[in-house]
């Protein structure tokens, strides 16, 4: 196995990236429904939605980072600003 030891916790098998780079059928349907909704929005509504989605993605990233740090024994599970 040629995994980078810094990225894999001792004794664990790395995740296959092909599974993380593709969408499930449910996700594809959800994406299509969101795309259809966006197509019906005004430019102002679309901008607002994009800003909100970016904020949510950043919060999710912070949560993932906190969980990883906790599981690797680097830091507490409390996300930033909490």
Among 27, 15, 2, which residue's Cα sits nearest to residue 68?
15
Give the per-residue pLDDT at 77.
55
Cα–Cα dist 26/31, whole Å: 9
Cα–Cα dist 5/12, whole Å: 10
52 pLDDT more than 70: yes
Please indicate whether residue 18 or residue 33 has the higher confidence score (pLDDT). Answer: 33
pTM: 0.58
Give the per-residue pLDDT at 73.
86
40 pLDDT more than 90: yes
Q: Which residues contact 68 (CB under 8 A, 6 or more apart)?
A: 74
Q: Which helix (H) or strand (E) holds 54?
A: helix 43-71
Going from N- to C-terminal start, the domains of the chain cover 41-82
Comparing 10-14, 32-36, 62-66, which segment has the lowest mean pLDDT?
10-14
């Amino acid at each position: 196995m040629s995994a980078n030891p810094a990225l894999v916790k001792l004794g664990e098998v790395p995740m296959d990236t092909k599974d993380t780079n593709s969408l499930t059928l449910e996700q594809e349907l959800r994406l299509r429904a969101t795309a259809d909704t966006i197509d019906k929005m005004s430019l102002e509504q679309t901008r607002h939605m994009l800003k909100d989605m970016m904020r949510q993605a950043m919060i999710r990233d912070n949560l993932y980072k906190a969980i990883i740090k906790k599981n690797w024994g680097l830091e507490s599970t409390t996300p930033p600003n909490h």
